[in-house]
Amino acid sequence: MPLTLTTVPCLQDNYAFIVGNHDTREATVVDVPEAAPINAALVAGGWTLTTVLLTHHHWDHIDGLDGLDARASVKVVGAARDAYRLPPLDIAVTEGDQIDVLGERVSIIDVSGHTIGHIAFHFSDSKLAFTADSLMALGCGRLFEGTPAQMWDSMQKFKTLSADTVICSGHEYTQSNARFAETLDPDNSDLISRIEGIDAARAAGEPTVPTTLDMELRTNPFLRADDPALKAKLGMKNASAADVFAEIRGRKDRF
Ligand code: ZN
Ligand code: FE
């Protein structure tokens, strides 16, 4: 049976995710912006928390860790290269590692760019990818530490996953990402209909996360820096995809 996914809104606009195994009732949490809503969701779901997966060191992804009710018994997984600025890790991982979580194989993908050392967790059997502040719904994370070329490299790693992979990103930024995406790509009918859905969801107070890789490939400009039509629209027909990505990221920063 595939694992169960629960999205937990935290703080202003963060998301944590609970992944649960129905047979064992054990669960893992991906990122811990704050403890209270996660503790409540674990109780509501009847889950026993065994593992915490941390994507990167920013406070809004780790600060709730010590407040988890199950803190004393959970194993914490994070990037070895970020161990110096993450909470103490029980399992330190690097790109390409495969670890067992809830009886399923999870691959570690280095997706540096937002920070150096940001990782994503890919549950290939359940088709779940936890991307936090790398690939986001209709966007990508701001480049605090890495270069545009590094983030483009990270984006390309997601393109190799199966198109029906569920993309679980770390923030509800989709509506402002949509306002930006439509300035670049106003003739993209997939984007226009997606934006209608986003605006309706937000008006109803519903999350727009998670999404699917297929949807992102068709509408997210940050995944489409190598798309000839988008390059032409930017007047960058002959530029490298990395340069086009840098231009798109720069425009978003100034938007
Ligand atoms: Zn962050
Ligand atoms: Fe964040």
pLDDT at 2: 81
Full DSSP string of 25-55: TEEEEE--S-HHHHHHHHHHHTPEEEEEE--
Q: Per residue in 8-60, pLDDT tens? A: 999 999 999 999 999 999 999 999 999 999 999 999 999 999 999 999 999 99
Ligand with smallest separation from the Cα of 33: 2
CB 217 within 8 A of CB 211: no
Spatial neighbors of 236 by CB under 8 A, at least 6 apart, are 243, 244, 247
CATH class for the domain made up of 4-220: alpha beta
- 166 pLDDT higher than 80: yes
pLDDT greater than 80 at residue 1: no
Who's near 86: CB < 8 A, 6+ residues apart? 54, 57, 62, 76, 78, 79
Q: How many whole angstroms from 163 Cα to the centroid of ligand 2? A: 25
- What percentage of the chain reaches a pLDDT higher than 90? 99
**Sign of the Cα pseudo-torsion (239, 243, 249, 254, in order):** negative
pLDDT above 80 for 110: yes
Question: Measuring CA to CA, which residue among 2, 6, 60, 10 is closest to residue 168?
Answer: 6
Euclidean distance between CA atoms 208 and 189, whole angstroms? 18
pLDDT given at position 75: 98
Residue 165, Cβ density class (10 Å: 0-12 exposed, 13-18 middle, ≥19 buried): buried
How far is Cα 20 from Cα 42, in angstroms, rounded to an integer?
A: 9
Measured in Å, residue 50 CA sits from the centre of ligand 1 at: 24
| CA of 108 relative to ligand 2 center, distance in Å | 19
Q: Is the pTM of this model over 0.85?
A: yes
Domain ranges of the chain: 4-220
Q: What is the mean pLDDT of residues 78-94?
A: 98
Both ends of the chain: CA-CA distance in Å? 44
**CA contacts within 13 A on the Cβ side of 186:** 3
Element (DSSP H or E) covering residue 242: helix 241-254
Neighbours of ion ligand 1 (CB under 5 A): 58, 133
**Tokens 């570690």 belong to residue:** 108
Please give the distance, rounded to the nearest whole angstrom, from the Cα atom of residue 57 to the centre of ligand 2: 9
Give the Å distance between the CA of 161 and the centre of ligand 2.
Answer: 23
